[in-house]
Structure 1
Amino acid sequence: MQAYRLLTEEDTSAFCHKVTEALSKGWTLYGDPAYAHDPVTGKMRCAQAVVKDAPGDYAPDIKLGAL
């Protein structure tokens, strides 16, 4: 199974750490990052999709962050 996650965070070092942690756990970048203004909070937000090959079949209760 190929797992997919979309990592999001405010535009701070926390976002870079979140993506770096996923990469260190075997996830691979998927596509380009996105950067957008959140009008509710007034802050910029980043997003990056990641994918990972994982054993087994998909089930809706899979904890993707634990893969």
Structure 2
Amino acid sequence: MKVYRFLTGADDAAFCHKVTAALNKGWHLFGSPTYAFNAETKTMMCGQAVVKDVEGKEYDPTMKLGEQ
């Protein structure tokens, strides 16, 4: 089974650590990162899709994808 997550956060070191942690848990980058300005908070926001193949599981919409 393939699982998908979209990681988001402010454009700061914490976002980079979030993506790095996912990569070190076996997730793979999927597509290009996104970058947008949040006018409400006046901050730049980042997003990155990641995917992972998980053996021996069936999809369940209640599963916590970050724990896979």
Q: TM-score range by the shorter chain?
A: over 0.9
- TM-score (norm: length of structure 2): 0.95
Letter matched to residue 25 of structure 2: K
RMSD: 0.6
Q: What is the aligned partner in structure 2 of residue 45 from structure 1?
A: 45
What is the deviation of 1:35?
0.5
Structure 1 residue ranges without an equivalent (≥5): none
Q: What is the aligned partner in structure 1 of residue 16 from structure 2?
A: 16
Q: What is the aligned partner in structure 2 of residue 57 from structure 1?
A: 58
What is the deviation of 1:39?
1.2
Could you list the per-position Cα deviations for residues 9-55 of structure 1 after superposition, in whole angstroms to 9, with x for gaps in the alignment? Answer: 10000010000000000000000000000111110000000000013
- TM-score (norm: length of structure 1): 0.97
Letter matched to residue 9 of structure 2: E
Q: Secondary structure at the match of 1:41?
A: coil
**Distance in 2, Cα, partners of 1:15 & 1:45:** 9
Structure 2 residue ranges without an equivalent (≥5): none
What is the deviation of 1:7?
0.3
